[in-house]
Amino acid sequence: MKNCPLCSAAGGVLVAQTSHYRLIRADDASHPIFYRLIWQSHVAEFSDLSVPERLLCMEAVATVEQVLRQQLPPDLRPTKINLASLGNVVPHLHWHIIARYDWDNHYPDPVWATARRAPDAQQLQALQAQLPALDAALQAALAALAA
């Protein structure tokens, strides 16, 4: 669709891609474990998908959540994983999958709220170090799901 940023660009660091969706890692310094599952064709609402497509989409979202919970080391496991599909600014179907920590600068508020505190630089650095392995695990899990 013309003028849709998710139709014309990847939307972040491309981690995995199928004919139906792509997984990107958002560039968010305060929340490095922030992924978006973006539906490849331009649809605004989840109900625009067929039943099989909805099942596939939610299975992919659940797979990303499971990988985050299983692959991060115990000392870096999230307090909570947020799942959201807002689409108010960009009306293109996409799901946010965000690892949240009780020490992150917005917790317990949404990542879009005003920050409550300065970010914990040491914890953020530890999470950044996990990204290559985490991206590889996500790519493998989504490839297995697509097979």
Look at residue 29 and tell me whether its pLDDT is greater than 80: yes
**For residue 41, what are the domain limits?**
5-146
Query: For residues 63 and 72, what is the distance between their CA atoms, to the nearest angstrom?
Result: 14
Query: Can you give the CATH number for the domain in which 50 is found?
Result: 3.30.428.10
Closest CA to 111 of 31, 35, 37: 31
Nearby residues of 14 by Cβ (< 8 Å), 6 or more positions away? 22, 23, 24
Digit-coded pLDDT (tens) for 112-124? 999 999 989 999 9
Confidence of residue 35 (pLDDT cuts 50, 70, 90): very high
The percent helix, strand, coil of the chain (3-state, each to 5) is 40, 20, 40
In the chain, the number of structural domains is: 1
Look at residue 126 and tell me whether its pLDDT is greater than 80: yes
Which pair of tokens denotes residue 85?
């599909």
Residue type present at position 8? S
DSSP string, 14-80: EEEE-SSEEEEE---TT-SSEEEEEESS--SSGGGS-HHHHHHHHHHHHHHHHHHHHHS-GGG--SE
Task: List phi, psi (to 5°) of 85.
Answer: -135, 95
- How much is the average pLDDT of 38-59? 96
Which pLDDT score, from 0 to 100, does residue 15 have? Answer: 98
Confidence of residue 84 (pLDDT cuts 50, 70, 90): very high
Residue-averaged pLDDT of the chain: 94
Query: For residues 105 and 41, what is the distance between their CA atoms, to the nearest angstrom?
Result: 34
Which pLDDT score, from 0 to 100, does residue 89 have? Answer: 83
- How much is the average pLDDT of 76-99? 93
Which pLDDT score, from 0 to 100, does residue 87 have? Answer: 75
